[in-house]
Amino acid sequence: MSYYWIPKQNWSVIFYASVSNVLDRQNVIDYTYNNDYSQRRPVHSDYSRFVYAGVTINLKL
C-alpha cells in the first residue's frame, strides 16, 4: 500500500507499508544435501511475517 503526496510544487512524498508472508507459510529458502547428494532436506526461513513501512521524499532543487 502506498500514498503519493505533493505538499509543495517541487516536493513529492511517498508513504508506503507492506506485509510479507501474510499467510505465515514455512518458506523454503535453500536445500541441504547429505554427503553423496542422495537426500535433500529443505531449509526454512527463520522469519515468518514481516511488516515494514517507510517514507521517500523527493526534492527538486
Average pLDDT by consecutive 10-residue portion of the chain (61 residues)?
94 96 89 96 89 96 81
Strands 2-5, 11-20: pairing kind: antiparallel
Q: What pLDDT sits at residue 34?
A: 96
Do the Cβ atoms of 25 and 34 come closer than 8 Å? no
Give residues with Cβ within 8 angstroms of 57, minimum separation 6: 11, 12, 13
Strand-pair category, 40-44 with 28-33? antiparallel
The confidence score (pLDDT) of residue 61 equals 81
Grid cell listed for 34: 547429505
